[in-house]
Structure 1
C-alpha cells in the first residue's frame, strides 16, 4: 500500500490528486477530520496554483479527442462508471459517512444509488438530445450542442459525491473535460470516483480531481484563461469571488447557492402531513440548501401545529450516523457548529424563544432547535444558518403569508401545505423560488430544472438545461441553392 493511501473503515483511499490519469502528490497536506468523533482520518494533498495549472493543462490536452468521441461511446463509458459506482455502494457509503457525518443508511439506500443514476440519466439524455430542424424562407436550421471545453466544477460538503456527479455526469456527457475540486472538508469520495472512472475506461485527462483550499487552488482554477465553464455549489460570498475571477475571461458560470426557504402551513392543511414535512427539515442535521427553515403557520392552527411538531421532533434520535436507528448525525466541522450556535444565541439575546433545542451537545452535535418570537427583519429569519435550526412565525391572511415567504434575498425553494387546490395554484404562482413543493418535500427528478432565483443562484441544472450550459449551442443555416451537381 502506498504511503499516500489511507484506510477508512477498511476501504483504501488515495490522498493524492488525480491529474492526467496519474496520482500526483503535493509538497504540503491538510488534515481531513471526521465530524463523528473529531478524529483525523488522514492527511490530504494540498493543491496550489501549480496543481491547478497542471490539471487544466491535462484537461485541455484531452479535450479534442474526448469532444470528438461519438455520443454512443461517451454514453457507454458513463454507464460503465455507473456500474462501478453500484459495485462499490457499500464502500462509498461508509467512506462518505465517515467524512461528512451524514446517515449511513441514507447513503446506502438513496444517495449512492442516486450517484449511479446521475451518470445513467445524462448518458441516456445525450443519446436523445436533439432539436427538430426548421425552415426559414426555404433554408434549413439545424441546432447542435458542441462541447465547450475544460470545465471547473467546485462542489460542497453536505452531499459530496451526489452533488459532484450531478455536475460531472452532464459535463462529461456533453464532451467536456473536467477538473473537479471537492470541498476540503470532504475530499475522499471524489478520490474514489477518479479510480472508478479510470477503471471504466475514461481516457486520461478527461476527469481530473484536485484537492485543497479555495484561496490556494480554487482561485487559480476559476481565473484560468483555458477554462470554458465553471459550475459552483456553495455560499453566496464564495460565489461572488468566483464570479469576479471568471469575469476577466468571460467564463460562463452556473451557481447554485444558499436558501432560506419557507414552509407555508394553512389552516385547511392536513396538520399531520404538515408536521411530518416540518420535522423532515432536520434531515442531514439541517445541512440542506433546500430546507424549509422558516415555518409560516396560519394563526388559527399555530398552537396546535407547534404542539404536534414538538412531540414529533422529540421522537428523533441524534447520535452516531452509522447507527441504523439514528435520525440526526453531527454537523460537519467545529467552525460550522460555532456558526450555528452563534446564530441561535444572538437570536435568543434579541428576544427569540427556543421551544426546543437552542444549544449544542457533545462533540459536533447540535440539538434540533425551533425558535419562535422572531422578527421578520432579524438575522435568524433573513440569513442561512445551515444547521438544525428552524423558526416559526404566524400569519393572518394568504397575502401576508406570500409577503413573508418572499421577504428574503433568497429564492431557492418553497414548500406549501394546504387542502385547497385553488389556493395552492394561487400561492405557488406568487412564490419566488426555483422549486415549489405542494403537500410534499424533496421529490426530485433529473428531468426538472433545478436552481434558484435572486441570491440563490444563476442558471439551472438538470435535463437539457445542463447540456445547454456545458455546451456551445450552434445553429447551422443551409441554403437549398449552391450545391455543385455531382450527379
Structure 2
C-alpha cells in the first residue's frame, strides 16, 4: 500500500485522479466520510483547474485514435470492461455501500450487475446502430453517427457507479473520450472503474477521472473550448450554472435534474399493489430522482390506502445497509439530512400532519415519513426533498388527479395505479413526464428514452437517443449516376 491508497472493507482504492492513463495526485485533499456511521474513510485528491485542464487535454489527445477505432474493437473493449466489473462485483458493492450508504444486498444483486450491463448493452447497440438509406428524387440519403469529441460527465452520489456508467458506456461506444467528475460525497467506485478500464485495454486518455468539488473544478471542465459534450445529473441550480458555463462554446448538454413525481391511485386499483408501489418509494432512503414522492389518492379509498400504507411501512427495517435484513439505510451526509429535516419541520409548522415519521432518528438516519394535510402550493409538495419523505393528497375526479399531478415545475416521471386500461391510456396521455409506469415502478430498459420535461431536464438518453447526443449525426446525400467508370 502507498500513501495514496485506502483500504475500504479490505479493498484497495487509489485516492488519486486518473489522467492520461496514469495516477495524478493533487496538492490538497478532501475528506470522504461514510454515511453509515460518520466515520472518515480517507483523504481524496482534490482537483483544481489544473487537473481539469490536464484531463481534457488527455481526452483531446486520445480522441483521434479512439474515434478511428473500429466499432467492433470498441465494442470488444467495452465488453472487457463489463467482464472486469463482473469479476469485482463484491468489491465494488462493499466499497460503494461504505461510501454512499445504499443497501449492500441491492448493490450485489442489482446495481453492480446493471453496471456491467450498461457496458454490454451500448457495446452491442453500437454494432447494430444504423438508419436505413432513403431516396430523395433519385438521390441516396445515408445517415451516420460521427464521434463528437471529448465529453465531460458529471454524476451524482445516490447511485454513483451505475449512473456514471449510464453515461460513460454510450460516450465511449460512440467513439468519444471521457472526463468523469464523480460526486465528492461518493468518489471511490469511479477510481476503481479507472483500474478496471485500464485492465480491459482501454487506451490511455480515453477515460479520465477527476475528483473534487464542483465549485472548484466544474467551470474549468464545462467552459473548456475542447469539450464537445456535457452530460450532468443533479440539481436545477447546478444545471443552470453548467448551462451558463457551456454557453460560450455552444457545447451541447444533456441534463437530468430530478423531479417531484406523482403516484396516482384510483379507486378501482388493486390497493395491495398500490400500497406496495407506495412503500417502494422509500428505496435508497428516498434518494431516487424518479421516486413518486407525491401520493394522489382518490377520496373514496384514501382512508383505507393510508391504513394499509402505515401498516406496511411499519414492517420496514432501517439501519446498517450492510445487513441483509435492512430495508432503508442512511442518508448520504449530515448536510443532506439537515436539509430533509428542515423541509419536514417547515411543513409541520405550516399545518402538515405526520402520519408516519416526521423526525430524524440520529445524525445519519431520517425516519421514513408520510405527511398529509398539505396544500398543493406548499413547499413540501412543490420542491424536491430527496429523502424518505412522502406526501398524500386526495382527489375526487380524474381531471383533478391529472391537474394535481402536473402542477409542479418538474416532469421526470409518474406512476399510475388503476384497473381500468382505458383510464390508464387517457391519463398517461395527459401526464407531463419522461417516463410513466402503470401498475409498476422502476422498470427500466436501456433501449428506452430517458429524461425529463420542464425543470426535470433537457434531452433524452438511452438506445439510439444516447448516440444521437454523443455523436454528430450526419446525413450524406449522393447523386445518382455520378461516378466515372475507371474500368
**If the length of structure 1 is used for normalisation, what is the TM-score?**
1.00
Aligned to 1:56: 56
Distance 1:21 1:178 in 2: 12
Aligned to 1:405: 405
Task: Note the C-alpha offset of 1:155.
Answer: 0.2
Question: Secondary structure at 1:428's aligned position in 2?
Answer: helix
Residue pair 2:299, 2:395 contacting (<8 A) in 1 also: yes
Task: Note the C-alpha offset of 1:182.
Answer: 0.2
Distance 2:485 2:444 in 1: 54
Task: Note the C-alpha offset of 1:135.
Answer: 1.1
Question: Secondary structure at 2:307's aligned position in 1?
Answer: helix
Task: Note the C-alpha offset of 1:2.
Answer: 1.5
- Superposed CA offset, 1:232-263 (max 9, x none): 00000000000000000000000000100000
Distance 1:329 1:8 in 2: 19
- Superposed CA offset, 1:415-470 (max 9, x none): 00001111101000000000000000000000100000000000011100000000
Task: Note the C-alpha offset of 1:484.
Answer: 2.0
Residue pair 2:292, 2:415 contacting (<8 A) in 1 also: yes
Task: Note the C-alpha offset of 1:218.
Answer: 1.1
Task: Note the C-alpha offset of 1:140.
Answer: 1.0
Task: Note the C-alpha offset of 1:482.
Answer: 3.2
Distance 1:448 1:485 in 2: 45
1:419 aligns with 2:392: no
Distance 1:134 1:427 in 2: 37
Distance 2:77 2:378 in 1: 50
Task: Note the C-alpha offset of 1:7.
Answer: 0.2
- Superposed CA offset, 1:269-315 (max 9, x none): 00010000000000000000000000000000000000000000000
1:374 aligns with 2:374: yes
- Superposed CA offset, 1:308-366 (max 9, x none): 00000000000000000000000000100000000000000000000010000123100
Distance 2:136 2:422 in 1: 42
- The alignment covers a number of residue pairs equal to 487
Distance 2:157 2:120 in 1: 23
1:313 aligns with 2:313: yes
- Superposed CA offset, 1:183-240 (max 9, x none): 0000000000000000000000000000000011111100000000000000000000
Distance 1:482 1:122 in 2: 37
Question: Secondary structure at 1:211's aligned position in 2?
Answer: coil
1:193 aligns with 2:190: no
Task: Note the C-alpha offset of 1:481.
Answer: 3.2
Distance 1:479 1:261 in 2: 50
Task: Note the C-alpha offset of 1:87.
Answer: 0.1
Distance 1:346 1:10 in 2: 43
Distance 1:406 1:374 in 2: 16
Residue pair 2:337, 2:363 contacting (<8 A) in 1 also: no
Distance 1:481 1:262 in 2: 58
Distance 2:345 2:136 in 1: 64
Residue pair 2:145, 2:467 contacting (<8 A) in 1 also: yes
Distance 1:300 1:476 in 2: 60
1:228 aligns with 2:205: no
Stretches of structure 2 lacking an aligned partner (at least 5 in a row): none
Distance 1:133 1:42 in 2: 55
Residue pair 2:299, 2:396 contacting (<8 A) in 1 also: yes
Distance 1:140 1:205 in 2: 37
Question: Secondary structure at 1:321's aligned position in 2?
Answer: coil
- Superposed CA offset, 1:350-408 (max 9, x none): 00000010000123100000000000000000000000000000000000000000000
Distance 2:438 2:482 in 1: 57
Question: Secondary structure at 1:3's aligned position in 2?
Answer: coil
Residue pair 2:258, 2:456 contacting (<8 A) in 1 also: yes
- Superposed CA offset, 1:101-156 (max 9, x none): 00000000000000000000000000000011111111111110000000000000
Equivalences for 1:248-397 in 2 at 5 Å? 248-397=248-397
Question: Secondary structure at 2:44's aligned position in 1?
Answer: strand
Question: Secondary structure at 2:109's aligned position in 1?
Answer: helix
Question: Secondary structure at 1:293's aligned position in 2?
Answer: strand
Question: Secondary structure at 2:347's aligned position in 1?
Answer: helix
Equivalences for 1:83-232 in 2 at 5 Å? 83-232=83-232
Pairwise CA RMSD = 0.5
Question: Secondary structure at 2:484's aligned position in 1?
Answer: coil
Distance 1:335 1:278 in 2: 26
Question: Secondary structure at 2:292's aligned position in 1?
Answer: coil
Distance 1:485 1:352 in 2: 81
Distance 2:291 2:258 in 1: 10
Question: Secondary structure at 2:393's aligned position in 1?
Answer: strand
Question: Secondary structure at 2:363's aligned position in 1?
Answer: coil
